């Protein structure tokens, strides 16, 4: 897919970037651990949006929303507070949906999901940074993953554990996975990258992904 040539960074935010920024915090004199975590996540998501919207206004970045994220938000909207939905819609109105709706071949989606758990078992100790976890890809996350890849985009998320494989489909020096909680990019260590690049299952999947793009 084509993107604007003068855009320095292209972000594709995960669903949780919208949900955390729009969450409603209850007023209380003393917060419990759950409420403190909700505030932490909301503040992190708000800071992320302030950052990327400012970059977008400066023409330093572009923000695209995956059609899968929009669908997830639509499904979730039925059980959200009206204020949350209003906040999400206000945020979406400032953004642009991905340039075209991407039809992902089922075999590629299935291969990526299978590979994520295969990697978790066989390379998890090499790919997982200290203090983090690695999870296999669920259906929606796999589609967001592929949509972001096809747009050469940065995945921004609070759930890094779901997307730890994403940087492997780009060059080592590229910043492609952004953790909104730590306000930093996450990379795969060189040892893990070199090991997995020799794996036949990875090589086949990389070819399939590149065929989708080109």
Does 101 have pLDDT greater than 80?
A: no
Instruction: Quote the CA–CA distance of 139 and 145 in Å, as a whole number.
Output: 10
pLDDT value of position 104: 87
Interatomic CA distance for residues 153 and 3, integer angstroms = 10
The pLDDT-based confidence of 7 (bands split at 50, 70, 90) is: low
- pLDDT value of residue 3: 45
pLDDT confidence of residue 102? 64
- Percentage above 70 pLDDT, the chain: 93
Q: What is the mean pLDDT of residues 205-214?
A: 93
How much is the pTM? 0.91
* DSSP single-letter state for residue 60: S
Place of tokens 């200290």: 130
| Per-residue pLDDT band at 4 (split at 50, 70, 90) | very low
DSSP-derived 3-state class of residue 74: helix
One-character DSSP codes across 155-192: EEES-GGGSTTGGGGS-TT---EEETTTTEE----HHH
- For 145, other C-beta atoms within 10 Å of its C-beta total 27
> H helices then E strands: how many in the chain?
9, 6
CA 138-150-88 angle, 5° bins: 60
Q: What is the pLDDT of residues 30-59, one digit of tens each?
A: 777 778 888 999 999 999 999 999 999 999
At 1, the pLDDT band (50, 70, 90 cuts) reads very low
Q: Are 115 and 141 in contact (CB under 8 A)?
A: no
Q: Are 53 and 62 in contact (CB under 8 A)?
A: no
């Amino acid at each position: 897919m084509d993107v604007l040539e003068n855009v320095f960074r292209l972000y594709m935010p995960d669903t949780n970037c919208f949900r955390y920024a729009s969450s409603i915090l209850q007023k209380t004199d003393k917060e419990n651990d759950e409420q403190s975590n909700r505030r932490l996540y909301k503040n992190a998501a708000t800071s992320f949006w302030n950052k990327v919207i400012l970059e977008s206004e400066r023409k330093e970045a572009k923000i695209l929303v995956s059609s899968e994220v929009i669908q997830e938000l639509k499904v979730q909207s039925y059980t959200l507070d009206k204020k949350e939905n209003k906040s999400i819609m206000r945020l979406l109105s400032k953004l642009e949906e991905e340039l075209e709706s991407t039809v992902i071949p089922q075999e590629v989606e299935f291969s990526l999901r299978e590979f994520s758990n295969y990697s978790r078992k066989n390379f998890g100790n090499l790919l997982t940074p200290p203090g983090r976890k690695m999870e296999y890809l669920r259906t929606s996350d796999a589609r967001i993953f592929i949509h972001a890849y096809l747009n050469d985009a940065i995945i921004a998320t609070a759930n890094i554990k779901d997307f730890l494989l994403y940087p492997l489909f780009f060059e080592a020096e590229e910043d492609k996975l952004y953790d909104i909680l730590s306000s930093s990019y996450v990379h795969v260590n060189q040892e893990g990258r070199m090991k997995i690049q020799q794996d036949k299952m990875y090589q086949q999947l990389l070819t399939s992904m590149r065929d989708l793009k080109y």
